[in-house]
Amino acid sequence: MNSFRGTLRKIVHHEGINWITVEVLGIKLRLVTLRIGDAFAPDSEVALLFKETEVIVQRGSAAQTSADNELPCIVHGIRQGSVLSEIALTSSCGPLTAMISSDSFNRLHLTVGEPVVALVTAFDISLARGDE
Amino acid sequence: MIALEMRKELVAADGPMWLDLAIELKEGSLIGITGPSGAGKTTILRALSGLLTPESGRIRVGDELWYSSDLGVNLRPQQREVGLLFQDYALFPHMTVRQNLEFATRDRRHVDELLALVELEALADRFPETLSNGQKQRVALARAVVRRPKLLLLDEPLSGLDPQMRRRLQDELLRLHRRFELTTILVSHDLAEVFRLCERVVRLERGMIVADGDPWQLVDEHETSHKFSFIGEVVDIRPADVVFLAVVAVGQQLIELVLTADDRLRIDVGQQVLIGSKAFNPVVKPVGEPL
């Protein structure tokens, strides 16, 4: 599980659905949730959680995508398996991990030290209280 | 307004504990009481109905005083206008459905209306032993409200029934509640039922009220923004490729989940884990229908 700590900056409600902006080390990340408790108010400390499998790794110049969050990263480590590969990344928000298929890994020719972009949609990021 | 204050010593599995609470109910409201077994839920209903006397307290229903330890008032169960419904039907076996209802009132028109509301007109002349469990419980429900009680007390009334019959009785219960504006207290461990029926939910733990609010609190009460979350026990973990596969028991089901190497450092067999997913992610489809 990838986890970033940050400060909740903005909540836009619409009919039980929230569009939320969280600032993590100066970078704004966006997520969408249903109703959330009162503990999640603007300026509260929160944690953002997302699965390794929910990170798309993009190499080379950006095509436009619908991913709400684009994080420039450097490949920090690689564990290649026969079906799955785990890519450790460093970003301005902190370290994160991407789980991709080894098929994609071989196609992308990823190497340690290389710049990539990690893409995560607003649907895949969960919100947790910062004190947990 | 119905106001209850009571203190009563109970014997729990791990020793004595005090049921100690004060609660006010708006007349005509439908309130759910949930909580683990032994929390004191049924004791509250027994105290309200007069089947049990608290150590101290006060029960006021509108402008009538049913019980006051200070003033030495304690109305007998028959003097309290209470309708009771438990999981067992407690119908008179030698009386027909209609006679079971008429036993409590002479108002035949009222009995006719009740029989219609719970859709039992066709079975009015049958004896209880010829009815299904769901039908028996509908008769019992109609009988509990036949005298238009000031307080309707329901203790796990639908827990012996299958899901479809339960749903049908929930509808009938709502219909009766709205028609007669009965102040109703429903004790149930079935959160779906409480959420569907009640406008207010009180959660009891070890004799104390730990939560009191609208039913949405049952949905919001999670550690994260996850709407889809369960607590389970890890029963097996084995390595696979660069990950681990874990089997987790949740309720009566076993599910298999992927753990990363990093997750594996913090999660072991025998541990309780929270499994969550965002409300957007789970696939939802009717049981038995292909995707």
Domain that holds residue A63: 2-129
Residues whose CB is less than 8 angstroms from the CB of residue B96 and which lie 6 or more positions away in sequence, other chains included: B124, B125, B126, B127
Question: CB B276 to CB A126 under 8 A?
Answer: yes
B241: closest CA of chain A, how far (Å): 6
Give the integer Cα–Cα distance in Å for B77 and B79. Answer: 5
pLDDT at B128: 93
pLDDT tens, B79-99?
Answer: 999 999 987 777 899 999 999
Q: How far is CA B209 from CA B5, B23, B52, B213, in A?
A: 12, 9, 20, 11
Q: Longest Cα pair distance anywhere in chain B, in angstroms?
A: 76
* Residues B10-42: tens digit of each pLDDT: 987 788 899 999 999 999 999 999 988 889 999
Distance of alpha carbon A56 from alpha carbon A123, whole angstroms: 13
Cβ separation B263–A128 shorter than 8 A:
no
Flag if A33 and B260 touch (Cβ within 8 Å). Answer: no
Distance CA(B125)–CA(B220), nearest Å, equals 47
pLDDT number for residue B221:
65
Q: String of b and e for B56-94 (b: at least 16 CB within 10 Å)?
A: ebbbbbeeeebbebeeeebbeeeebebbbbbeebebeee
User: B75 in helix, strand or coil?
Assistant: coil
For residue A61, give how far its alpha carbon lies from the nearest alpha carbon of chain B (Å): 29
- What integer pLDDT is reported at residue B220 of this predicted model? 67
The three-class DSSP label of residue B186 is: strand
Q: Considering only CB atoms, which chain A residues are within 8 Å of B279?
A: 33-34
Whether A37 has its CB under 8 Å from any CB of chain B: the answer is yes
Helix (H, G, I), strand (E, B) or coil at B243: strand
Mention every residue, 6+ apart, whose C-beta is less than 8 A from residue B46: B52
Q: Is A68 on the interface with B (CB under 8 A)?
A: no
Question: pLDDT tens for residues A91-122?
Answer: 999 999 999 999 999 999 999 999 999 999 99
Q: Which residues of B touch A94 (CB under 8 A)?
A: none
Region of B106 please: left (phi>0), alpha (psi -120 to 50) or beta: alpha
In this complex, do B242 and A126 lie within 8 Å of one another by their Cβ atoms? no
Q: How many domains does chain A have?
A: 1
* pTM across the whole model: 0.72
Mean local confidence (pLDDT), A20-44 = 91
